[in-house]
Chains A and B, each alone.
Chain A
Amino acid sequence: GNSVTQMEGPVTLSEEAFLTINCTYTATGYPSLFWYVQYPGEGLQLLLKATKADDKGSNKGFEATYRKETTSFHLEKGSVQVSDSAVYFCALSGPHTGGFKTIFGAGTRLFVKA
């Protein structure tokens, strides 16, 4: 079946540190891959996405590359800020996820200290 596995949190970093949140997936076919972010007290919002192999999604200094050979979509940022503290969800969606569903990972909470 289709699934997303992401690293458990929480992840605690100091400001300006390098961030990596690992995400691997299992899917039939060629899904689109997403990273969503949830700030405290809010709903999820799209951070970035990639729709085919080797695509790189980027936004607000975050990047992730769609790696079909390793079935991964790791999230990276070169220098985190306190304002990046949030929960990050890796997700996939495609023709074999049951119609129009998006499959979400469990989420990884990030704390950034000043």
Chain B
Amino acid sequence: DAGVIQSPRHEVTEMGQEVTLRCKPISGHNSLFWYRQTMMRGLELLIYFNNNVPIDDSGMPEDRFSAKMPNASFSTLKIQPSEPRDSAVYFCASSWSARGSWETQYFGPGTRLLVL
């Protein structure tokens, strides 16, 4: 069974460019999470979806960041315009979540983003 798939695995771009990160969750999972990890700030939850609906985007740093989940098998995180301080590892995770059940999150391998 395939795990969470993220693409690209590495991205190097210049300041001001648009960056799009992609995620395919595990089939059958109904919750999807986007995280950012840096040495300075650790692991931060950016946004999460349940049944393709954004539930909490309070972690999105600013309007330059946007996320979509058009269907149960695909999500994107977009940064426009990108800035050097956005350099980080971005993780996507998925889980099966329901009232009364708080299940394990399965993480993808991450996208390592470097903004020059």
Can you list, as one digit per residue, whether each of A97-114 has a CB less than 8 Å from chain B (1) or not (0)?
A: 111111010110000000
| A101-B48 in contact (CB<8A) | yes
Known contacts A32-B102, A44-B91, A101 near B108 by CB under 8 Å = no
A70 to B54, CA, bound (A): 35
| Candidates B42, B50, B95, B102; contact of A31 at CB < 8 Å | B102
Q: Shortest beta-carbon distance, A16 to chain B, in Å?
A: 30
> Is B12 close to A, CB under 8 A?
no
| B45-A99 in contact (CB<8A) | no
**Which residues from B are CB-within-8-Å of A101?**
33, 45, 48, 56
Task: Give the nearest-CB partner of A97 in chain B.
Answer: B102
Q: Shortest beta-carbon distance, A75 to chain B, in Å?
A: 16
Total number of A residues with any Cβ neighbor in B under 8 Å: 22
A11 to B105, CA, bound (A): 25
Task: Give the nearest-CB partner of B3 in chain A.
Answer: A43
**Which residues from A are CB-within-8-Å of B42?**
104, 106-107
Interface residues of B (CB under 8 A from A): 4, 31, 33, 42-43, 45, 48, 50, 55-56, 91, 93, 95, 97, 99-100, 102, 104-110
Q: Known pairs A97-B102, A100-B97; list 16 more (Cβ under 8 Å).
A: A31-B102, A43-B91, A43-B110, A44-B43, A44-B107, A45-B107, A95-B102, A98-B56, A99-B55, A99-B56, A100-B31, A100-B102, A101-B33, A101-B48, A104-B42, A106-B42
Sample of 18 A–B contacts (CB below 8 Å): A34-B104, A43-B91, A43-B107, A43-B108, A43-B109, A44-B43, A45-B106, A46-B104, A89-B43, A95-B99, A99-B97, A100-B48, A101-B33, A101-B45, A102-B33, A102-B102, A104-B42, A104-B43
